[in-house]
Amino acid sequence: MDLRERFPGVTEADWQDWRWQLRHALRGEAELERLVALTPEERRGLALGGLRTAVTPYYAALMDPAHPACPVRRQAIPLEAEGLASPGDLRDPTGEEPHRPARAVVRKYPDRVLFLVTDTCPVYCRHCTRRRITGGEEGAFDRAAVEEGLAYVRAHPEVRDVIVSGGDPLVLSDDRLLPVLEGLRAIPHVRVLRLATRAPVVLPMRVTEALAAALRRLAPLFVVTHFNHPKELTAEARAACERLVDHGVPVESQAVLLRGLNSTARVLADLFETLLTWRVRPYYLHQGDLAAGTGHLRTPLGAGVAILRQLRGRVSGLAIPHLAVDLPDGSGKITLAPDYTGRGGLEGGAGGTWLVNHRGERVRYPDPPSADCRCEYDAVWYGADRG
Ligand SMILES: *Cc1c(COP(=O)(O)O)cnc(C)c1O
Ligand code: SF4
């Protein structure tokens, strides 16, 4: 079912125009109730006035008008539960604020930074972790903030990987975004660029041929997008991803584990396998951050690990992302994985280690004749001084 018929009189040209989609984003109860039968929980959620609400007509057309459990609807329309506090909720759930050496820059690692270029998005995800910014509390990122950020990256030669994010950078026009990316590309020590955007999911018409070609010229640049459910895997979304890949821009996808939306192995196997056939590589599966107002969407830590265990052996290894937890103290991300070691861990012992395969059977893995892992040639290749 596609609700596009509920936008009567819209021409195909308008529908395929990303600016038309942004201008006509649905923002409140009156607009949304023309599309779906709103529940009392949704009406009270829309009245909360916390994180902004906006839904592009394209994404809104994917909602199930009758079933409030629809994962597209749940990502786009707030519930009353967004107003409730959960234990451990934080305004800054991944501890970014103490790590902002410039307003546009978040730096938790020596070699990588986030570079924020906007506080707005085509669709505000109800699980947004950066909602203190996308909620509009901070204000927009003007030219001065971007210039200050560029100056920071220029002055820090250790920074080798810059993730342009926000908000969603693709709400900016090519004329505004490309100079920022070009400014970063012109910094000799910046090796890799990433562009974090949900446009392929919520505004696929934004990914034009011209944009794909421009991004290819900035290689190595990876587009990192954010698909959460197979309902989002439309022909338009596929075309947007394939436009990028066909132009030579690699595309990765990060999903957020959302309780009751995509928190089963069946849903995620379907999502990740299909993305892989689009040549979109599942990169991270994120444990939900402790963002205030998202407690109802969070899973226990063990749920993600259990899902990974079910995926291993069932789907292509290329379709299995890392399970990432962004720690609330600001120290960065770690990854969790099922433990396949038997009793005694990886220490080995008399003649080897016991491992447990994805079927739960014990398999012996023998120790090699030597445990010395130094590489003698390193000193030749790198020079003795660099170890
Ligand atoms: C997630 C993140 C990165 C990138 O981490 P990777 O594991 O390299 O993808 C870098 N900086 C910050 C602040 C982040 O939150
Ligand atoms: S697109 Fe990203 S930044 Fe924007 S609301 Fe969704 S999760 Fe937050």
Q: Whose CA is nearest to atom 7 of ligand 1?
A: 333
| Atom number of ligand 1 nearest to Cα 94 | 15
Which residue do the tokens 């707030």 mark?
78
Return the C-alpha torsion angle 262, 265, 268, 274, nearest 10.
Answer: -150
Ligand number, closest to the Cα atom of 224: 1
H helices present in 56-208, as ranges: 57-60, 71-76, 131-134, 143-154, 174-185, 199-202
Q: Whose CA is nearest to atom 5 of ligand 2?
A: 124
Q: Are 289 and 279 within 8 A, CB to CB?
A: no
Ligand number, closest to the Cα atom of 51: 2
In the reported structure, the alpha carbon of residue 240 is separated from the centroid of ligand 1 by a whole-number distance in angstroms of 24
Taking only the tens place, the pLDDT of each residue in 251-281 is 999 999 999 999 999 999 999 999 999 999 9
- Judge if the beta carbon of residue 134 lies within 6 A of ligand 2: yes
CATH number at residue 139: 3.20.20.70
Q: Are 293 and 131 within 8 A, CB to CB?
A: yes
Is 92 among the domain residues? Answer: no
Q: Select from 319, 336, 353 the last residue of a domain.
A: 336
Lookup: tokens for 317: 């290894």
From the list 43, 8, 74, the residue with the least C-alpha distance to 231 is 74
Is 51 among the domain residues? Answer: no
| Atom number of ligand 2 nearest to Cα 124 | 5
Q: Whose CA is nearest to atom 1 of ligand 1?
A: 333
- 22: helix, coil or strand? helix
Q: Are 113 and 89 within 8 A, CB to CB?
A: no
Same domain? 367 vs 287? no
Is 221 among the domain residues? Answer: yes
Which residue do the tokens 């936008």 mark?
7
Look over the chain and give the mean of its residue pLDDT values, rounded to a whole number: 95
Same domain? 144 vs 292? yes
Same domain? 260 vs 348? no
Is 60 among the domain residues? Answer: no
Same domain? 300 vs 354? no
Same domain? 302 vs 366? no
Is 44 among the domain residues? Answer: no
Same domain? 141 vs 237? yes
The two beta strands, 322-326 and 280-286, are parallel
pLDDT at 67 over 60: yes
Q: Which of 55, 134, 289 to mutate to test the pocket of ligand 2 (most atoms within 8 A of CB)?
A: 134
Taking only the tens place, the pLDDT of each residue in 173-230 is 999 999 999 999 999 999 999 999 999 999 999 999 999 999 999 999 999 999 999 9
Lookup: tokens for 112: 């990588």
Q: How confident is the model at residue 314 (pLDDT cuts 50, 70, 90)?
A: very high
In the reported structure, the alpha carbon of residue 307 is separated from the centroid of ligand 2 by a whole-number distance in angstroms of 24
| Atom number of ligand 1 nearest to Cα 107 | 13
- Judge if the beta carbon of residue 132 lies within 6 A of ligand 2: no
Same domain? 275 vs 263? yes
Q: Select from 297, 317, 336 the last residue of a domain.
A: 336
Is 39 among the domain residues? Answer: no
Taking only the tens place, the pLDDT of each residue in 361-370 is 989 898 888 9
Sign for the pseudo-dihedral over CA of 254, 258, 264, 267: negative
- Other Cβ atoms less than 10 A from the Cβ of 372: the count is 5
For residues 145-171, give the mean pLDDT: 98
pLDDT at 383: 87
Same domain? 221 vs 347? no
Is 82 among the domain residues? Answer: no
pLDDT at 386: 58
- Judge if the beta carbon of residue 170 lies within 6 A of ligand 2: no
pLDDT at 1: 57
Same domain? 264 vs 357? no
pLDDT at 153 over 90: yes
Structural domain containing residue 126: 97-336
**Cα–chain center distance at 259:** 16
Number of structural domains (the chain) is 2
Which residue do the tokens 């947004």 mark?
128
Ligand number, closest to the Cα atom of 108: 1
Lookup: tokens for 284: 């991270």
Q: Which of 115, 172, 198, 225 to mutate to test the pocket of ligand 2 (most atoms within 8 A of CB)?
A: 198
Is 354 among the domain residues? Answer: yes
pLDDT at 348 over 70: no
Taking only the tens place, the pLDDT of each residue in 80-101 is 999 999 999 999 999 999 999 9
- Judge if the beta carbon of residue 73 lies within 6 A of ligand 2: no
Same domain? 368 vs 242? no
Q: Are 301 and 336 within 8 A, CB to CB?
A: yes
- Other Cβ atoms less than 10 A from the Cβ of 180: the count is 21
- Beta strands (DSSP E) in 6-93 are none
In the reported structure, the alpha carbon of residue 326 is separated from the centroid of ligand 1 by a whole-number distance in angstroms of 9
Q: Select from 336, 354, 376 the last residue of a domain.
A: 336
Same domain? 299 vs 196? yes
Lookup: tokens for 219: 């290689």
pLDDT at 353: 87
Cis peptide before 220 (omega within 30 of 0): yes
Residue 221: which residues within 8 A CB-CB, separation 6 or more? 181, 185, 192, 193, 194, 195, 215, 249
Same domain? 173 vs 309? yes
Residues pairing with 307 in the sheet: none
- As a whole number of angstroms, the distance between CA 360 and CA 351 comes to 21
For residues 277-298, give the mean pLDDT: 97
